[in-house]
Amino acid sequence: MKVNNLGLMDERRNHLMFAGLTIVVGVILFGFGALSDNRNVQSGNTNACPFCAEIIQAEAKFCRFCQKDLASIQLPVVDLELSSRELPVVDLDRLGICPNCESEIPISSLECPRCKALFGPPSTWQIKPLPTKSA
């Protein structure tokens, strides 16, 4: 077999080598980029924006993605160490009405199963108790 155009073969070989090298370098750079993103999130230097959920610096006063002012936001502080005497005594069998969808739910519920309204400590929603039946 006789090859007449050795220059064309060399050019194709060079293109294939360059394409293969570019793919290998791209995969390596992609891997290092993913590792650096994980380090920033895990180190505590960043937070998620409460409006757009993009990763921003923890000290940010302004979100660069959604242009919202973060300094004016005050997140509710929830005291998770409530003592048992501070918790109200609740009858578990008693029913109440969800103020959002008006369905009957147990008065001790923290979330309405129908409309997903929350009734926990940071929420201002409260279940309206149904009148007790007198015997």
Q: Is residue 127 one of the residues assigned to a domain? A: yes
CA-to-CA separations, 63 to 43, 73, 107, in angstroms, rounded: 20, 12, 40
Asked whether residue 71 is domain-assigned, the answer is: no
Question: What is each CA distance from 103 to 23, 99, 108, 114, in whole angstroms?
Answer: 58, 8, 14, 8
The string of pLDDT tens digits covering residues 19-40 is 999 999 999 998 888 776 555 4
The percentage of the chain sitting over the pLDDT mark of 70, rounded to a whole number, equals: 73
pLDDT digits (tens, 9 = 90+) for 44-69: 677 788 888 888 887 888 888 888 88
Categorize the per-residue pLDDT at 3 as very low, low, confident or very high, splitting at 50, 70 and 90: low
pLDDT computed for residue 87 by the predictor: 54
Could you tell me if residue 21 is inside a domain?
Answer: yes
Strand order in the sheet with 128-129: 104-106, 95-97, 128-129
**Does a structural domain hold residue 128?**
yes
Does residue 66 lie in a domain region? no
pTM of the model: 0.30
Query: The domain containing residue 126 runs over which residues?
Result: 87-135
Is 126 inside any structural domain? yes
Strands (DSSP E) contained in the chain are 46-48, 55-57, 95-97, 104-106, 128-129
- Residue 120 placed within a domain: yes
Q: Is residue 58 part of a domain?
A: no
Confidence of residue 94 (pLDDT cuts 50, 70, 90): confident
Region 6-20: mean pLDDT is: 86
How many folded domains does the chain comprise? 2
